Amino acid sequence: MNQDSVFTKIIKGELPCHKVYEDERTIAFLDIHPVTAGHVLVVPKMQIDHPWDLPDDDYIALMLACKKVAQRMREVLGVRRVGVQVIGVDVPHAHVHLIPFNSVEQYRSRPDMAAEPDHEALSAMAARLAF
Residues 18, 39, 93, 95: which is the catalytic one? 95
Q: Using CA atoms, how far apart are residues 80 and 92, in angstroms rounded to an integer?
A: 31
95 is catalytic: yes
For residue 98, which phi and psi values (nearest 5 degrees)? -115, 120
Amino acid present at 69: V
3-class DSSP state of 107? helix
> Cα separation of 71 and 29, whole Å?
15
Say if residues 62 and 25 touch (Cβ distance below 8 Å). Answer: yes
Just list the catalytic residues.
Answer: 95
